Amino acid sequence: ASTLGYKMAVEEPVRCDTPSLAERDQQTKREKGVNDASPMRLRMEKFVKEQQKEIVRALEQADGTPFRVDEWQRKEGGGGITCVLQDGKVFEKAGVGVSVVYGTLPKPAIIKMRANHKNLASDDNIPDSLEFFAAGLSLIVHPKNPMAPTVHLNYRYFETANPDGSSGAWWFGGGSDLTPSYLFDEDAIQFHKNLKEVCDAHDKTYYPRFKKWCDEYFYNKHRGESRGIGGIFFDDLDETVSDKENTFAFVQDALKSFAPNYISIINKRKDMPFTEKEKEWQQIRRGKYVEFNLVHDRGTAFGLNTPGARVESILMSLPLTARWEYMYEPEPKSREARLVEVLKNPKEWV
Amino acid sequence: ASTLGYKMAVEEPVRCDTPSLAERDQQTKREKGVNDASPMRLRMEKFVKEQQKEIVRALEQADGTPFRVDEWQRKEGGGGITCVLQDGKVFEKAGVGVSVVYGTLPKPAIIKMRANHKNLASDDNIPDSLEFFAAGLSLIVHPKNPMAPTVHLNYRYFETANPDGSSGAWWFGGGSDLTPSYLFDEDAIQFHKNLKEVCDAHDKTYYPRFKKWCDEYFYNKHRGESRGIGGIFFDDLDETVSDKENTFAFVQDALKSFAPNYISIINKRKDMPFTEKEKEWQQIRRGKYVEFNLVHDRGTAFGLNTPGARVESILMSLPLTARWEYMYEPEPKSREARLVEVLKNPKEWV
């Protein structure tokens, strides 16, 4: 059946102009499925959805509690799957979300984005609008035990469609970072070592660049300290850095290595004894996590300002509980003070 | 002693240019004290410091717990007094802060502020910088009992100095608003009635205008609901609205009427029985309070981005504890659902 015929059959109002990127992709998936020869949009969407299932399964196994799964549609195009485990045995809150967005960039957004992506449009011919596609997986896990670290991960792909329907500009972004309340050097080393190995297998310059980028991005400026002990962060990984196929391979490796790495850290920490005072310190650190996410995180700000955004999916990153004590200062030379020291002066872990 | 002589005696490095606004004000206070003939800067500073003492005394009496008092200096000019009561008998957290800032507006800030204040400078002669003064009192009280409402108040005065040392542009801003977790109509009515009476005594147009302004300002846009049941909010109250003397009288009346009004509400609610589930709802509402303050509140954003700002004084507004439950929905027709209904559709209370 032609796209137009399909549209007339299932959708209204009927629009008789050319099919949108979303419509064309729906048709391709239906008729041909998704394989290595498919557009990167469909491959990335398929990959992050598979990974979401795998990670959810691994976290469920670690906790013994099932996730709640919500599938949602975005009126403006696309949708997502949000999986949340709340108040479990091991995890206070774990959110694993996939979102797929089809939309249109207005001219001012195109002009702004061209600062980093010259190939969005040629200098002398900036279109009035451009269709775009974005797909990504976001994850955040806040464990109950204060000895077990919070983790965050996000990998995403962005692409524009040329007016003729072909793929235009594209880039990958993402990373993963660890936020302990109590610092175990061996955990920080393991977490970074794993990321370095994944990076090194693709490009020896990645780890040092992306580690630094992470330290700079996840910085609670008003507190003068990092959110956590870092990891990697990158954005705008486009053809000026590497080709699409190799970059996708890197993102795949990075995402696939996450769950085994993090869960092995969790298994070491989840049953450690702790005091009420240590739990309180965790709650205070949670407060600073909230501050970063609500005050400084560009992704959260962008999401909350996007019309039709699913707010509960964006704010699944917030911990179940947090605490703000006025002028709280850890005791000198305590474990709490050492953490703050490291957050003020990020370390090289590998 | 001349100002220069004084400076040479107590300060270094010695600067031999004209004395700053802060230096001139210090000298005036020292030599003449502050009375009704003093510059408004000094009268407002004296007034908010007196009110801070009164309010702190009233809240201490209601709680039975003393406040911690921190006096601080701002390296760039000015300073403040921050009073916080934490984990008391009645209040989870109460912060009452005064700040006094002497600073310099750079040209871009002057140009931006001229949008609302034409008299900052004349069209054909915008100076490269302008000295300014700002003084205000900010207050936030989060009670323990979920039946007792959170309250916020802020009154402030802003003034620029002309290059010749005389007072330039000036304006007052402020207001007060109530945020219950459980809505008692009689409390909302009492709170608003008190504000309306204070407003009406000065200008019958104030209450309806400032009530609406409050509903619009304290709006958690991403949630589609107000932060609380409102009160009054105003900014830029300058000579286009009323004269300096009358506006100060209005601000004085508004600030002085606050403590008796709020504490009579607290006394009705502080010992009411409540369930664990009701406490949890309060914690969820606290989470939304944090969201407003960190995502939308201009004062907080401005403070956190001001070099040399005292972060702990700005963030004393955050509750001691807060909670974020994914997709939490109150039961239909419950008291919790009724609150949300009112937050989505602000009411006229008087």
- Percentage of chain A lying above the pLDDT 90 cut: 77
B159, B194, B185: which is closest to B173 by C-alpha? B159
Asked if A69 has any chain B CB less than 8 Å from its own CB, the reply is no
φ, ψ at B247 (rounded to 5°): -70, -40
pLDDT tens digits for range B22-59? 888 989 999 999 999 999 999 999 999 999 999 999 99
List of residues 6+ apart from A3 with CB closer than 8 A: A19, A23, A24, A27
Residues 26-45 of A with CB under 8 A from B: none
pLDDT tens digits for range B93-128? 999 999 999 988 888 888 888 888 877 888 788 888
Q: What is the pLDDT of residue B305?
A: 81
Asked if B318 has any chain A CB less than 8 Å from its own CB, the reply is yes
State yes or no: ipTM above 0.85. yes
Asked if A141 has any chain B CB less than 8 Å from its own CB, the reply is no
**Chain B residues closer than 8 Å to A316 by CB:** 326
Cα-based distances in Å from B108 to A126, B111, B130: 31, 5, 11
Sign of CA dihedral B113, B116, B119, B122: positive
Q: Which of A223, A301, A318 sits opposite B311 (nearest CB)?
A: A223
pTM for this structure?
0.92
State how far residue B37 is from chain A, nearest Cα, in angstroms: 38
Please say whether the beta carbons of A74 and A308 come within 8 A.
yes
Inter-chain touch B324–A324, beta carbons under 8 Å: no
- Span of A78-87, A108-117, A167-176, B284-293 with lowest mean pLDDT: A108-117
Please report which confidence band the pLDDT of residue A213 belongs to, taking 50, 70 and 90 as the band edges: very high
Strand B78-86 to strand A129-143: parallel, antiparallel, or no bridges (unpaired)? unpaired
Cα-based distances in Å from B303 to B60, B136, B175, B295, B315: 27, 13, 18, 13, 9
pLDDT, mean of residues A229-239: 95
- Span of A330-339, B83-92, B111-120, B259-268 with lowest mean pLDDT: B111-120
**Chain B residues closer than 8 Å to A70 by CB:** 327
Inter-chain touch A312–B327, beta carbons under 8 Å: yes
Asked if A223 has any chain B CB less than 8 Å from its own CB, the reply is yes
pLDDT, mean of residues A9-20: 55
pLDDT, mean of residues B236-259: 95
Q: What is the pLDDT of residue A17?
A: 66
B252, B339, B288: which is closest to B36 by C-alpha? B252
Specify the DSSP class assigned to residue B317.
Answer: G
Asked if A290 has any chain B CB less than 8 Å from its own CB, the reply is yes
Please say whether the beta carbons of B294 and A291 come within 8 A.
yes
State how far residue B257 is from chain A, nearest Cα, in angstroms: 27
**Catalytic member of B152, B192, B222, B296:** B152
pLDDT for residue A327 is more than 60: yes
User: How high does pLDDT run on average in chain B?
Assistant: 92
Specify the DSSP class assigned to residue A119.
Answer: G
Specify the DSSP class assigned to residue B329.
Answer: -
Inter-chain touch B326–A316, beta carbons under 8 Å: yes
Q: What is the pLDDT of residue B7?
A: 37
pLDDT, mean of residues B306-333: 94
Asked if A222 has any chain B CB less than 8 Å from its own CB, the reply is yes
Inter-chain touch A68–B324, beta carbons under 8 Å: no
Inter-chain touch B290–A294, beta carbons under 8 Å: yes
Asked if B316 has any chain A CB less than 8 Å from its own CB, the reply is yes
Q: Is A86 exposed, middle or buried (0-12, 13-18, 19+ CB in 10 A)?
A: buried
- Alpha carbons A122 and A275: distance in angstroms, whole number: 61
Containing B185, the helix (H) or strand (E) segment is: helix B185-200
pLDDT, mean of residues A173-184: 98
Residues of A with catalytic function = 152
pLDDT for residue A6 is more than 80: no
